[in-house]
């Protein structure tokens, strides 16, 4: 009875998405055991299941970084106040939201240290030490660490005071090389989101008002969540030689001239886990793209006490372990409870195996995304399982793309924007812009959607700005955002 009650609780306690999206999100991260709150306000525990998703993200991305020639390093977590202040735009952007260490043991520090909100200043100091000649360039560095930004309002994965991320920091002899790097890494992020997270993204450049503090240009990938809000899933910054000048980084060129090098930085965070939840999740919980699912196939024995069932479940798990991440649930819980938990945790495929299946030498596989059931002869598992995992990925991607297209509105007049949002729900608004910050502000004020990016793939929707009617410079992607 206690078990049945727990099972009922598991299913009932998740708020339907339509009723309250924010509460649905909170329920899912909690019930799927991704995170737990702590007494440190705005910080969270990432639990084993949540952390295993992050480990898969890390492993795949780290491989992509290394393939493109990058090396991992580790910088200190502290930045002396004077070092943070060396680049004026940068400090203006970050100082208001950093945590300050003022004491070591019982003694006050001579100079206070901030806990890194990002590490440009530390990388610059290091580059100034190690770069002398053109032979020392480029340096293509990355680190996997956590950073701290003292946010007022926080939500698990989406906005926390401490979050995990990677930050790439590269330095090049020429502006062109650095610009190419900025775009290359945006492309790596976009490919990763599409190929591993089944999440389509819009690639684009941020407007001036939305740039990273200290950057010449910021590029981003934007994804559309279930509730029609945009989520910035990754950014890549081109710095020109601004940081090099502020930090006195110079190298001797082939022509024997002291020259300032050019820099970039780029990052993605544990926010990606929030993006996965809000792109693919449903009212039964999480739905995980196979590439990052900690368990891709959960084997659930039916009537596990009957002769041979548990043995067969284990033997199928052993067979499949070479081709996918598979687990046989041998806990004492009921199959119903196991089904609910497997659904809640978004395991892509559920493999059911009972006494009758044993006799018929088959099993039943149920897709988490569509709930489609197929009966599969045990001899064919090695071909069917990978094919089904691919089908889940493709299905998730296709539905996410269709959803985005259904909620992308091309507007030529300002009035069309609130109309479209009211009629069809929140989403991406594509509309022309003159490039003037005043118009950017006015659009936001009048319609509620802000500029997300200037998409790389431009469309000529009109010749004039949707706001002021002056000649348009760009098509902008507008949306409400996380």
Interacting residue ranges for its own copies, rule: CB under 8 A: 36, 38-40, 43-48, 51-52, 54-55, 71-80, 83, 95-106, 113, 115, 122, 125-126, 129-130, 141, 145-146, 148, 150, 161-162, 164
Least CB distance from residue 324 to its own copies, whole Å?
Answer: 17
Return the sign of the alpha-carbon dihedral for residues 330, 333, 335, 337. negative
Least CB distance from residue 390 to its own copies, whole Å?
Answer: 26
Least CB distance from residue 116 to its own copies, whole Å?
Answer: 10
List the beta strands (DSSP E) in 270-348. Answer: 297-301, 326-328
Q: How far is CA 127 from the centre of its chain?
A: 28
Reading phi first (left if > 0) and then psi (alpha if -120 to 50, else beta), residue 186 is in alpha
Q: How far apart are CA 367 and CA 50, in angstroms?
A: 21
Closest alpha carbon to 411 in 394, 397, 395, 424 = 424
Least CB distance from residue 83 to its own copies, whole Å?
Answer: 6
Least CB distance from residue 75 to its own copies, whole Å?
Answer: 6
Least CB distance from residue 70 to its own copies, whole Å?
Answer: 9
Closest alpha carbon to 440 in 422, 465, 415 = 465
Instruction: Report the residue number, 33 or 416, with the smaller CB distance to its own copies.
Output: 33
Instruction: Report the residue number, 45 or 374, with the smaller CB distance to its own copies.
Output: 45
Q: Helix 21-31 crosses helix 271-280 at what angle (to 10 degrees)? A: 110
Instruction: Report the residue number, 76 or 377, with the smaller CB distance to its own copies.
Output: 76
Calculate Rg over the CA atoms of the chain. 25
Q: How far apart are CA 394 and CA 195, in angstroms?
A: 9
Instruction: Report the residue number, 16 or 48, with the smaller CB distance to its own copies.
Output: 48
Instruction: Report the residue number, 54 or 219, with the smaller CB distance to its own copies.
Output: 54
Q: How far apart are CA 184 and CA 311, in angstroms?
A: 49
> Rounded to 5 degrees, what are φ and ψ at 262?
-120, 145
Q: How far is CA 356 from CA 27, 234, 297, 304, 328, in A?
A: 37, 49, 20, 12, 18
Instruction: Report the residue number, 162 or 343, with the smaller CB distance to its own copies.
Output: 162
Pairing of strands 408-410, 373-377: unpaired
Least CB distance from residue 57 to its own copies, whole Å?
Answer: 13
User: End-to-end alpha-carbon separation of the chain, Å?
Assistant: 41
Instruction: Report the residue number, 20 or 71, with the smaller CB distance to its own copies.
Output: 71
Least CB distance from residue 156 to its own copies, whole Å?
Answer: 12
């Amino acid at each position: 009875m206690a078990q049945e009650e727990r099972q009922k609780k598991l299913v009932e306690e998740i708020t339907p998405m339509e009723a309250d999206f924010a509460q649905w999100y909170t329920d899912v991260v909690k019930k799927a055991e991704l995170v737990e709150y702590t007494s440190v306000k705005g910080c969270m525990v990432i639990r084993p299941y949540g952390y295993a998703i992050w480990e898969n993200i890390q492993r795949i991305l780290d491989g992509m970084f290394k393939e493109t020639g990058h090396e991992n390093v580790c910088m200190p977590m502290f930045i002396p106040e004077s070092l943070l202040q060396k680049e004026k735009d940068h400090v203006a952007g970050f100082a208001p939201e950093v945590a300050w260490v003022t004491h070591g043991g019982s003694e006050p520090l001579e100079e206070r240290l901030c806990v890194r909100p990002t590490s440009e200043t530390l990388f610059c100091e290091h580059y100034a030490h190690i770069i002398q000649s053109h032979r020392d360039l480029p340096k293509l560095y990355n680190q996997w660490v956590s950073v701290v930004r003292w946010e007022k309002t926080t939500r698990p994965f989406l906005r926390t005071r401490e979050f995990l991320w990677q930050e790439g920091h590269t330095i090049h002899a020429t502006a062109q090389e650095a610009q190419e790097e900025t775009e290359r890494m945006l492309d790596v992020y976009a490919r990763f989101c599409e190929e591993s997270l089944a999440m389509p993204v819009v690639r684009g450049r941020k407007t001036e008002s939305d740039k990273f503090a200290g950057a010449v240009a910021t590029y981003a990938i934007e994804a559309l969540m279930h509730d029609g809000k945009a989520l910035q899933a990754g950014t890549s910054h081109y710095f020109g030689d601004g940081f090099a000048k502020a930090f006195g980084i110079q190298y001797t060129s082939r022509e024997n001239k002291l020259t300032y090098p050019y820099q970039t930085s780029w990052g993605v965070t544990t926010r990606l886990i929030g993006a996965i939840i809000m792109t693919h999740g449903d009212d039964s919980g999480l739905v995980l793209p196979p590439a990052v699912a900690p368990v891709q196939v959960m084997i659930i024995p039916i009537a596990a006490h009957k002769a041979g069932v548990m043995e067969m479940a284990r033997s199928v798990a052993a067979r499949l372990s070479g081709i996918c991440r598979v687990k046989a649930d041998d806990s004492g819980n009921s199959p119903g409870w196991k089904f609910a938990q497997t659904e809640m945790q978004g395991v892509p495929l559920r493999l059911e195996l009972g006494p009758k299946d044993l006799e018929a030498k088959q099993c039943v596989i149920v897709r988490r995304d569509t709930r489609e059931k197929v009966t599969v002869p045990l001899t064919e598992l090695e071909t069917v399982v990978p094919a089904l995992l691919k089908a889940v990925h493709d299905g998730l991607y296709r539905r996410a793309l269709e959803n985005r297209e259904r909620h992308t509105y091309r507007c030529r007049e300002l009035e069309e924007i609130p109309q479209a949002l009211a009629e069809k729900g929140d989403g991406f608004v594509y509309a022309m812009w003159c490039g003037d910050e005043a118009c950017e502000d006015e659009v936001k004020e009048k319609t509620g959607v802000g500029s997300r990016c200037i998409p790389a793939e431009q469309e000529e929707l009109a010749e004039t700005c949707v706001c002021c009617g002056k000649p348009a410079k760009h098509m902008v992607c507008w949306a409400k955002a996380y």
